[in-house]
Structure 1
C-alpha cells in the first residue's frame, strides 16, 4: 500500500471517483461517509481546524481514505492538539474507509499520522463495529500511552416486514389513533418528500425555520444552529438530495410545515437523522405519526430498515424504541500519544476514572438522604 496525503476534498489531487468506488465496496459505509456530506463539513471548518486526508493505494485502486481534522481543544482544562475524523460532531455514524485486506497495515498508518499530525489525543467517534477490526486496532493500542474502546451508542432499528402492514397493538395504537384524529380535526396533512437538487434549497429553508423556533433552536443544539452548521447542512443536504439519498416526512397545516422528520437513505436503510416541530403544535403528537409514516413509506418502496441513527447511551427517548427489532452498536476509540501532553492527559483521565465511581456513590447517598421525609 502506497500512502500519501491530500489537503482538501476539492484539491486537484483528491481522487473523487476512486473514493466513491471505495465507499461503494464497503458495506459498512453510511451516508455520513458520502462525499457530499464531507464536502459540507470541510467548508464549515472553524478557524484553526486543519484538514489532512490520508490516502492509501494498492496499484491503481484506492484502499484507504481517512479525512482527519487536527485542532486545538481544551481537554481537562488544557489546550491540546486533538485529531478527529472529518464530520465530528454532526456525523451520527461513520465507517473507517479501509479495505479489510489493509487492516494489518494500521500500525504503519498510525505512525504516519503521528509524524504528520503530532497530537495528545486521537479520537474516532461513532464508529461502526467491524468483524476483526477491533483486533487490528490492538497495534494502535500497543503504540499508545493509553487507549480506550467504549460503547458510545446503541441505536434502535426496526427491520421492516409484512407484519408492519397491520396496525400496532397496545398503547402505541392508541397514541397513533389520537394523533391522526387531531390531524384530521385541524385539517393538517402528512406529506412524503423526496427532494432533488432543484427543490432542496427551499425545503431546507422551511426545515430550518421550524427548527429555529423549536427547543433545539432556542438552546442552540440543532443541526441548523449557527452560521457554520447551517452552511454545512445546506451544502450537504443539497448534495445528498442530488444523489437521491434524502427523504422527508412532514405535517403541513395551512400551507406551512409544523413538524418534520429528516432521513438520510443508503442501501435500503433509512437513517432517521433529525426531528423538529413548532412548539404551538406540541400536543399534536406528530413525532410518532411521522415515524409510522416512515414505516409505511418503507413498505411501499421496499426499504429494509428504519434506523434511529444515533441516540443517547442512557435515557434515550427516541420513539423507535417502541418498535425496535434490533440495535446497532457504535464505538468510540481513544488513543493517548506518548508525547508529554498525551501522558499528562492519560494520567488525568485515569485518575478521573478512579474517582468517578466514588463521586457517583456520594451523589447517590446525598440524593437518598434528601428524599427522606423529615421527622
Structure 2
C-alpha cells in the first residue's frame, strides 16, 4: 500500500523589532545558515547585527521577519528595516532589505523551499499592511518568487517592476590560462602593456594579502588611506566618505576573516600602496566588494591589475564563482575589469504599493501614468 506523503508543517511568521530579540535569535539564525539551501552573505546574522548597529539612522525601525514551522524550528529569515521617507509630499513607511545598505542581491535565508517561505512572508505582510505603505525589494534575481508572484499582488495592492543592477560574474570551472586566452586580443594586449608599465615604474612591487583578523584590520586602514587620496583628488570613494560605513567594516571585516571569508589585498610599490581590494567570500563565491587606487598612478590602472591577479588566484581553488560589485577605476580608463568577466547577473527592483493607505490614489495615478507613457 502506497503511503501518502506527509503534509508539510504549517509555517508561521513573527517580526523581530528590537535589538535584544535580534541577539536572542543568534544561535537559531546561525544554525539555519549552516543548513540553508538559499543563503547569502547579506542575510546572515553576522552581517545584519553590525549593519543595524552602525548603519541604521534615527527613526529606522528593525523589521526582521522570522519564519518557523509548527515545532518552532526556524525555516527562514528576511531581514528588513522600516524607514520613513517623503514621497509626493507625504511621509511614507517603506520596508526594504537591511542587506541593501552595504550588500548586493540580499535575497532570502531559507532552509529549503524558498517559494513556500516567501509565500508565508507575503501572507504575514498582508496581515500587517496597516504598518507599511511600500514594500521595496531590490536586486531580485530572475525567477525569484516575488518577481513571479507579486507583479500582480492582489486586491488592494499595486506593483511596479523596473531594472535594477547588473553585476558581472565569472565561473571558475576552467583554468586561468584558458580564461585569459579567451579574452579579445585588445583586452589581452592592453593588460600586458599595463603589467609592463607597472614593472617599469615599480620594479620591486609586490602584492600583500591580509587574511588573519589582525592583518585584515591593519590592511583596512591602509586601504582607507588610499581612498582618502582619491577624495582629495575628487575621484570619489567606496567606503571612506561614510564614517558609519567605515565603522561597520572595522567591526565586521575581522569577524569574517576569522572564518576565512574576508581578505584585503594591497598592491605595494617602493613608496607605499598603489591599489587596494576588499574581498568577501560567501560559500563558494568570492565577492570583489571594493577596490581603489592611488590617483597619481591612474595611468597604470592599478586596481585593474590587482583585481585580475585576485581573479587569477581564484581559479583552481574551492571557489566556483567570482562576482564583481564595486571596483573604483579611473574615469577615462581604456581597460576595464569587467572585460575579464564573461557573464552578467541582471536584477529587478519590485515596489509593492499598499492601496489601502493614503498613498492609494497616488499609486494608482503613478501606475496610470506609466501605462500611458508605455503606450
TM-score, normalised with respect to structure 2? 0.82
Give the one of 33, 36, 40 matched to 2:46: 36
Q: Please list the CA deviations of residues 156-178 of structure 1 after superposition, one character each: whole Å capped at 9, or x if unmatched.
A: 21112444225445112212212
User: In the comparison of the two structures, how many residue pairs are matched?
Assistant: 350
Cα deviation for residue 265 of structure 1 reads 0.9
CA-atom RMSD, angstroms? 3.0
- Partner of 1:314 in structure 2? none
Mapped to 2, the partners of 1:219 and 1:335 lie a distance apart of: 36
Residue of structure 2 in register with 1:127 after alignment: 140
| Larger relative contact order, structure 1 or 2 (CA cutoff 8 Å, min sep 6) | 1
Q: Give 2:357's match in structure 1, choosing from 328, 337, 340.
A: 340
TM-score normalised by the chain length of structure 1: 0.82
Cα distance between partner residues in 2 of 1:219 and 1:348: 40
Deviations 1:316-335 (A, max 9, x none): x9934313332223222211
Alignment of 1:1-375 (within 5 A): 1-9=11-19, 11=21, 14-44=24-54, 45-58=56-69, 59-99=71-111, 100=113, 101-115=116-130, 118-130=131-143, 132=145, 134-137=147-150, 141-166=153-178, 167-168=180-181, 169=183, 170-187=185-202, 189-214=205-230, 218=234, 222-254=238-270, 256-309=272-325, 319-350=336-367, 353=370
For the Cα contact (< 8 Å) 1:145–1:346, is it kept in 2?
no
Q: Match for residue 8 of structure 2?
A: none
Unmatched runs of 5 consecutive residues or more in structure 2: 1-10, 328-332
Q: Mean alpha-carbon deviation: is it higher for 261-270 or for 70-79?
A: 70-79
- Deviations along 1:222-252, one digit per CA (max 9) or x if unpaired, are 2232222221222222322222111333211
Cα distance 1:87–1:132, how it changes in 2: closer, same or farther (>3 A)?
A: closer
8 Å Cα contact 2:68-2:76 kept in structure 1: yes
Contact 2:169–2:345 (CA under 8 A) maintained in structure 1 = yes
Deviations 1:113-166 (A, max 9, x none): 424xx222110112334555544446x811443112333122221112444225
Greater Cα shift, 283-292 or 323-332: 323-332
Deviation (angstroms), 1:11 = 3.5
Aligned partners of 2:23 and 2:301: how far apart in 1? 50
